[in-house]
Structure 1
Amino acid sequence: MSQTFINGKIFIGTSETDFANGMVVDDQQRIKWIGNDPTPEGDVIDLHGQTVLPGLIDCHTHPKYIADALHGVACTPPNVNSIKEMQTALRHSPAYGQGPDTWIEGWGFDETKLAEHRSPNRDDLDAVSTDQPIFIYRSDCHSSVGNSKALELAGINENTPDPVGGKIERDANGRPTGFMREVAASQLLIRAKSAQSYDNDVQNMVNSSRHYLQNGIVAIGEMMGRMKPYTTLKLYQDSVKRGFKPKASIYYVFDEIDPQKGLQPSGDAQLRVAGIKVFMDGSISGETANNSVSYPSGKMGVSLTSPEKLRRAVKMARDNKLQLAVHAMGDQAIQTVIDVIKDLDPWLPEMPSVRIEHASLMNDHMFDQIAHSKMKYALVTQPIFFFAEDESYRNYLNAEQFKLIYRVKTMLNSQAMLGLSSDAPCTPWAEPDSPFYSIYAAVTRKAANGDLVNPEEAITVPQAVLGYTRDGAKIGGFDDNGTLEVGKAADFVILNKDIFTVDHEDLQNVRVKETWMNGQPVYQAK
């Protein structure tokens, strides 16, 4: 049966200023008509002046990590500010005391925010339990820490070599401390954890569905597709069968793709293999982003992918008509991406062929190169990083570098397409993938500590909303979403406040009242 929505403030999403007060959804769950003062068809739903947005798109996130985090312990401020408080929080985990086959999990610690000013180690976690394995993501989700039981299950000891692109931290005697630096090292623990219970991983994904819908997110870009110990596509397929609702595009980590087999695009509007993910460097808060100058400690960032390896990834993406998504935070990492790719012809006609993920530290020369490049780029960035990690950025970057972080307005006005996203749960904030904190940060340029971060890079509320709707959908290949135009899927959200008129300080308090997919309510706030 058709449905007619009346008396709303409906942001169509086709531009910053396109609004309507009504729309008609047909019996195929698509937008049949949108405009002002509709002629009623079928059921009539009065919106009573509420604000409606197209369903939100988080085009760079880590749903598997989110699924783990939701049943894990948030090791973030304001509740956890020391290793002692972290130990207490872990003892209050529902997994605590559930036996040796149950992992205790946590996420979000940043050693610069802990009273001890260091990362936890295996001995700190062993004080919580030596019988149960414990695994905690650092805030950047690149590095992690495990207790002795977790190391044992992963087969990590004094004789275990460092994986390519990662480091097993060790003490002066060569004993692993439990800290696993960068993604390749963290994966040693993650594989041990995932191999133990595939069914638990599926159930965690299913349970996370409500979390996305509660945030108004109807489509996600899974940016950490894996081939081991099982394929991420299989995890999603089984999760969808059991009730996982958000649409998903999967980007497989290049290092895990068999070069002889390559990777083929596949799937449909609900679930598809969309691209290849390459890591150029680490994170600024972890002092591993590849910058052109050293950190105050004297450390240099890490270079995880050479220009030649990046060219191989480009060839695989081009040959298979896949997007290439390149993690690059440091200015040297970003410059390497531009140098390798700028003179290549795009290979995808309807969307950016290359996505630079994070694009944390960009100078004017880079934007000029992008403007004169053959390549069609997207810049997918995360304002919540400077919102939640302001102290780390000020500690680890000099004043000149700090002026270049997350230049959202410059990105918007560049020749690249801008997408806003969360990279959740990879930041030390208790609600890492709330679109409204990101929008607040993009519009006000204020950090959680009240610091004002390069206010000249602020954008407007409609521009920020487009980064989570129209442009996020174009970048992520969600052709049915992003706008509420005729023919698109009837996926939309109803907000508790008018995001376009509230005081900017109140943007972080905007929440979703209802999320609709295919013309049906799939989430309603209590």
Structure 2
Amino acid sequence: MTQTFINGKIFVGDTEDHFVNSMVVEDGTVKRIGDNLPNEGEVIDLQGQTVLPGLIDCHTHPKYIADALHGVACTPPNVNSIKEMQEALRNSPAYGQGEDGWIEGWGFDETKLAEHRSPNRDDLDAVSTTQPIFIYRSDCHSSVGNSKALELAGIDENTPDPVGGKIERFADGRPTGFMREVAASQLLIRAKSAQSYENDVANMVNSSEHYLKEGIVAIGEMMGRMKPYTSLKLYQDAVKQGFGPKASIYYVFDEIDPQVGLQPSGDEKLRVAGIKVFMDGSISGETAYNTDPYPSGKMGVSLTSVEKLKRAVKMARDNKLQLAVHAMGDKAIQTVIDVTKEMEPWLTTMPSVRIEHASLMTDQMFAKIANSKMNYALVTQPIFFFAEDESYRHYLSPAQFKLAYRVKTMLNSQAMLGLSSDAPCTPWAEPDSPFYSIYAAVTRKAANDDIVNAEEAITVPQAILGYTRDGAKIGGFDDNGTLEVGKAADFVILNDDIFTVAHSELKNIHVNETWMAGKRVM
């Protein structure tokens, strides 16, 4: 099938300023681009609308999103207290659906709640003691469950803390329900996932529409799991039932059997792409690992030793996989650079090492990257400072805050820059809207109108490339990222011209249509 799209403002995406007004698509692939091309096959008049290459969210958590879509957003602007959270949970479609039905929520940040504390099991038991309740904290590292959830997970006063995590407890030793960091949260998540694999598949399939409405045609699953089932199997079964976006899976290193290892596999639609390592926690949880203490005196937490990181690097190198390292604090990021900077890259078509978040970076770090042998990507999330400005101001010293999300410096560095969401791991009701992130990257303005390090602002085309061309290169989506000849005809049509609207309106841009392989899918 051949189609000619005419009368558009089509951003090709190979450079910051390459636009054409027409595009010929044949059998789902871009055949020609240019101005006023001769019509072939079906003619589709874009009527002056702006077209972008399909958007890439190269760092997100689709399984969490799938869970969140049928859960409750415990975030501003709708939930601002534990009392409001309880009421929102009672309004969940899962409420009252029987003892096997989990009531789920996501996105709370105790600093934004009126009580200035995290909810605990007693707060959630006030909603239900017969149904399990599970809520992700905004960073998706920590979570909270009610008494029923703890019971199903086998957690009581005698349960030891898992390595790398902490089960918070009341003074009498009884678990509060708050599970600090990923290793502890996984105790609840596994109990939840073990209830119904079929429901998990159905939730993934249902999330497809969410991504396509946002114009997201490809995603990086940054929390690949081996237990209680492999993420690859979950995605394979979801794709069979209609899950649309392309996906790359990064498995958490701690769950990979070192005797078996991990092999790259799959194709452009779905593939195992890399290994994920956690160096530290989050800034809003005061667990990001920093060189200087937080004003409170805390230093954050180191979740991976140098020796363990080296083992992960070796597995990635030996198996020709990417290494994606969660590192928010400056000391965590510095450790990643120090361990890898003298190594020869083992991948040539994409960065071998991805530093995820790269939240606090010094000039010295950028200098080391510039003089290193390794090919790096810095995958960061402007939505974090947009939604969490108060937390960052509260927890960081002024000197630390000046290092936060240096997007322009990243763009001008020797590393490749990718923009992404880390959704749903931020306290905002639309955590993976690319347009909130683009707005934040361009204006450096937070949701509370605070200006965050204005000198680190980038342009609209530069921000878009972080979600298209460069996001595709970082995530290994070779058929995507641009609308050059030979690439997949995956593109979005916007409701307004993102290149000319006032910057204050960028967050209000949305996708009217999403096309994949030359077919409208949303």
TM-score bracket for this pair, using the shorter chain length: over 0.9
Note the C-alpha offset of 1:293.
1.7
In 1, Cα distance between equivalents of 2:374 and 2:134:
40
Structure 1 residue 300: deviation in Å?
Answer: 2.0
Partner of 1:21: 21
Rounded Cα–Cα distance in structure 2 between residues aligned with 1:395 and 1:495: 37
Give the Cα separation in 1 of the matches to 2:313 and 2:508.
Answer: 41
Shift of 1:437: 0.1
Q: Please tell me the residue identity of whatever aligns with 1:216.
A: G
For 2:164 and 2:371, the matched residues in 1 are separated by 33
Which residue in 2 is equivalent to 1:505? 504
Aligned to 1:12: 12
Q: Which residue in the other structure is 1:167 paired with?
A: 166
Three-state SS of the structure 1 residue aligned to 2:383 is helix
C-alpha displacement at 1:105, in angstroms? 0.1
**Who is 2:460 aligned against?**
461
Match of 2:69 in 1: 70
Map 1:368-379 onto structure 2 (within 5 A): 368-379=367-378
Q: Which residue of 1 aligns with 2:184?
A: 185
Separation of aligned partners in 1, 2:193 and 2:282 = 24
2:49 corresponds to which residue?
50
Cα distance in 2 between the residues matched to 1:329 and 1:426: 14
Amino acid in the other structure paired with 1:15? T
String of CA shifts for 1:182-204, please: whole Å, max 9, x gaps: 00000000000000000000000
In structure 2, distance between residues paired with 1:399 and 1:458: 19
The offset of 1:292, in angstroms, is 1.1
- Rounded to whole Å, the distance in 2 between the matches of 1:522 and 1:420 is 24
Partner in structure 2 of residue 339 of structure 1: 338
Q: Write the mapping of 1:360-439 to structure 2, written as runs, cut at 5 A.
A: 360-439=359-438
Alignment of 1:258-273 (within 5 A): 258-273=257-272
SS in 2 for 1:179: strand
The 5 A counterparts of 1:505-524 are: 505-523=504-522
- How far did residue 173 of structure 1 move? 1.0
**Over residues 55-81 of structure 1, what are the superposed CA-to-partner deviations in whole Å (9 max), with x where a residue is unaligned?**
000000000000000000000011100
SS of equivalent to 1:222: strand
Partner SS, residue 196 of structure 1: coil
Aligned to 1:86: 85
Aligned length: 522
Tell me by how many angstroms 1:299 deviates: 2.0
**Match of 2:486?**
487
Secondary structure at the counterpart of residue 60 of structure 1: strand
Q: Secondary structure at the match of 1:107?
A: strand
Partner deviation per Cα, 1:91-129 (whole Å, 9 max, x = no partner): 000000001000000000000000000000000000000
CA distance in structure 1 between the aligned counterparts of 2:421 and 2:432, rounded to whole angstroms: 5
Any unmatched runs of 5+ in structure 1? none
Alignment of 1:103-182 (within 5 A): 103-182=102-181
Q: Please provide the CA RMSD for this pair.
A: 0.4
1:96 maps onto 2:81 in alignment? no
How does the TM-score come out when normalised to structure 2?
1.00
Q: Which secondary structure state, in structure 2, belongs to the residue aligned with residue 34 of structure 1?
A: strand
Partner Cα separation in structure 2 for residue 88 and residue 177 of structure 1: 20
User: Aligned runs of 1:207-356 on 2, under 5 Å?
Assistant: 207-356=206-355
Q: Cα deviation per residue 1:223-280 (whole Å; 9 max; x = unaligned)?
A: 0000000000000000000000000000000000000000000000100000000000
Shift of 1:87: 0.2
> How far does residue 298 in structure 1 lie from its aligned partner after superposition?
2.2
For 1:297 and 1:120, locate their aligned partners in 2 and report how far apart those are by CA, in whole Å. 22
Residue 309 of structure 1 deviates from its aligned partner by 0.3
Cα-to-partner distance string for 1:146-175 (whole Å, 9 max, x where unaligned): 000000000000110000000000111111
* Separation (CA, whole Å) in 1 of partners of 2:152 and 2:300: 30
Q: In the aligned structure 1, how far is the partner of 2:293 from the partner of 2:91?
A: 40
Helix, strand or coil: the match of 2:521? strand
Residue in 2 that maps onto 1:197: 196
Share of identical aligned residues, percent?
Answer: 84
> Matched residues in 2 for 1:228 and 1:296: separation?
38
Q: CA deviation at 1:387?
A: 0.1
Question: How big is the shift at 1:408?
Answer: 0.1
Give the whole-Å Cα distance in 1 for the aligned partners of 2:41 and 2:193. 48
For 2:28 and 2:433, the matched residues in 1 are separated by 26
Q: Report the CA distance between 1:296 and its aligned residue.
A: 2.4
Quote the offset at 1:83 in angstroms.
Answer: 0.2
Q: Equivalent residue for 1:2?
A: 2
| Runs of 4+ with >4 A deviation | none
Alpha-carbon displacement from aligned partner over 1:289-337 (angstroms, at most 9, x marks no partner): 0011222222220100000000000000000000000000000000110
Structure 2 SS opposite 1:185:
helix
Displacement of 1:500: 0.2
2: CA distance between counterparts of 1:267 and 1:222? 14
